[in-house]
Structure 1
Amino acid sequence: MTAADTIFESRRPAMTGLAYRMLGSRAEAEDVVQDAWLRWREVDAPAVDNPGAFLNRVVSRLCLDRLKSARARRELYVGEWLPEPVVDVDETFGLGENLTVAFLLALERLTPLERAAFLLHDVFDTPFAEIAATLGRSEAAVRQLAARARDHVKAGKPRYKPSADEERRLTQAFITAAMSGDAASLRGLLANDVAMHADGGGKAAATMNPVFGLDNAVRLLEGIARKWPHPGGTSVRLARINGQPGVVLSHDGVVFQTMGLDIVEGRIAAVYTMRNPDKLARISP
């Protein structure tokens, strides 16, 4: 492996993490990093003073290009769009509050330039001068972009940090109650203002819009349990979904659903269900 290869590989996790947060897709993020590799091969790597800044600039610009077409695709997306789940990722990918589904959905409400400025500065500690060069804006303009984004994403940050035991207990209890349609147990687990999100992408059955409130959530889960597609044949494993507690469900060795949970003060405040097979293909059962 050459020195240039070593430099690139040492930066790969950070680049993948940046691209994933920009695009909400692990598959697209890895495509972007591959494109960055092709560009890296074309430069004189030893002559690059700051390889990290150079590669972040390349990845950011590639992501901004992809976001133009992504926005058009989202307008045609069937049902609610959720980011591709990242399951049991290595720490180097960048776990923490800035990987949660709520945080990523908050990023979706930003403009591409706001998203880039905020992520590069607040998440990846990039100086504003470098961000300005990356985005082709003045440093003052970049500061304003990041500040506006910061205000918008506050709501996406976790309000509560459950213990590992609490996460495990609530996750196990929830999936048992959900699969059996146990309304009484569900009422003891879900928050009054719980939000149920689901992404089927038009390729798998899922609610078209989020479902809010305890009564509506319980009715939804009861109905799903009555129609459960693989009675007695579903394999369930606990997993970290975007750094939060969740489960991966499979049948005959094929993952057909993930569920990530947002736990707040001993109750499940949000459930993020992924059923779009295109976004589950990379997950091991």
Structure 2
Amino acid sequence: MEPSDDHEQEAAGARRLTSTVHEFQSARAMLASLAYRLLGSWHDTEDVLQEAFVRWSGADRANVLEPRRYLTRVVTRLAIDVLRTRQARRESYLGEWLPEPVPSDPFASVDTSDLSLAVLHLMERLSPPQRAVYVLRTAFVLPYDDIAEILGRSAEDCRQLHNRAIKALDRDGPRFEPTPAEQRRLLLDFVAAARDGDLARLESMLKESVTEWSDGGGQRRVARKPVVGREQVATFFSRIYSRKDVKVVPLELVTGPALDVRLPTFRHVLHLEFDGNQIAAVRIQANPTKLSALG
């Protein structure tokens, strides 16, 4: 083989690698949004994206007409495999399982305005295929025929899975959320009222049916069962935040405003779910493993 042939092959290989990386990177934010919606875990999302890139690098491009469509199928199927494996581990998980808080930076180029921690939490009650159909149909507005091709099912089967998912996620009517700026103010007001031990003010911020969930993953001492009711939740947080050395740092997560709360005993992320100007749910992510994306 002539030296010029070697150079031509090296140049062709370099061009293919550049094209492979460019096409994947151009779709990465969308794929990250898809994987995180399916998994609620940034750690698992990164693993899925890494494996998807490996498969994309080895794909026969002659059989790939639309790179994004191919990558969407690969990421969805990998995420379903992770969800199925995770279901077995979940049985031994100590306490409530909540999604991981993730900054909005990795998703900067895609619309995530509809992403809700509350819905991610509720989606844990769905089967992996239901979750995949719900995300692809609701967040990405794909036709049932396209979803069927991605999942290897019939379009009618996907339609039924979507209907079942909607019923399982029924949240007792619409929730009317305040603006992000108002949410940030209410977060700080909530902590201030709890820190001052002002139970009357704190209870006025809470819906009567408010529920609190905590995820410590067995690594932090938190309530392992939901705390339900206005008085119970107000008392719970006034006891936690009644010390003067509580420090709070506002966070902008992909799921909306939150607070990084630092206490001498443990750190956690506080997220509030609103119905109008009242708090309908409170979620505490205290599992240190799940806070790694925040640094």
Query: TM-score over 0.5 for the alignment?
Result: yes
State the shift of 1:158 in Å: 5.9
2:113 matched to which residue of 1? 96
Tell me the CA shift for residue 63 of structure 1.
1.0
TM-superposed deviation, 1:224: 1.8
- Which residue of structure 2 lines up, in the alignment, with residue 265 of structure 1? 276
Distance in 2 between the 1:203 and 1:149 partners? 32
Residue type of the partner of 1:71? Q
- Answer with 61-70 or 1-10: which moved more: 1-10
Tell me whether 149-158 or 131-140 shows the greater mean CA deviation.
149-158
Which residue identity is paired with 2:18?
Answer: T
Kindly state the Cα deviation for residue 157 of structure 1 after the two structures are TM-superposed.
8.5
**Residue 77 (str. 1) matches residue 93 (str. 2):** yes
2:126 alignment counterpart:
110
CA offset digits 1:222-281 (Å, max 9, x no partner):
32235x5xx52x4311223443332112469x9821001112221111111110000012
Corresponding residue of 2:38 = 22
Is 1:133 matched with 2:149?
yes
- Aligned counterparts of 2:283 and 2:255: Cα–Cα separation in 1: 13
> Structure 1 vs Structure 2: percent identity of aligned residues?
36
Assess, with a 3 A threshold, how the Cα gap between structure 1 residues 214 and 157 changes in structure 2: closer, same or farther.
same
| Deviation, structure 1 residue 154 | 4.0
The alignment covers a number of residue pairs equal to 278
TM-score (structure 2 length as normaliser)? 0.86
Once superposed, what is the RMSD of the aligned Cα atoms? Answer: 2.3
Q: Output the TM-score relative to the length of structure 1.
A: 0.89
- Distance between the aligned counterparts of 2:152 and 2:119, measured in 1? 26
Choose which of 223, 236, 247 in structure 2 pairs with 1:220. Answer: 236
Q: 1-side partners of 2:181 and 2:121: how far apart?
A: 27
Structure-2 change in CA distance of 1:243 and 1:11 (3 Å): same
Aligned partner letter, 1:41:
S
Farther-moved stretch of structure 1 (145-154 vs 264-273): 145-154
Alpha-carbon spacing, 1:50–1:64, altered in 2? closer, same or farther (3 Å): same
The question of whether the paired residues in 1 share the 8 Å contact of 2:197 and 2:238 is answered with yes
Which sits farther off after the overlay, 124-133 or 68-77? 124-133
Distance 1:255-1:240 versus aligned 2 partners, 3 A rule: farther
Aligned residues of 2:219 and 2:288 also touching (Cα < 8 A): yes
Q: Deviations over 1:136-170 (max 9, x none)?
A: 21122112112221232242986113124422321
Q: Which residue matches 2:250? A: 238
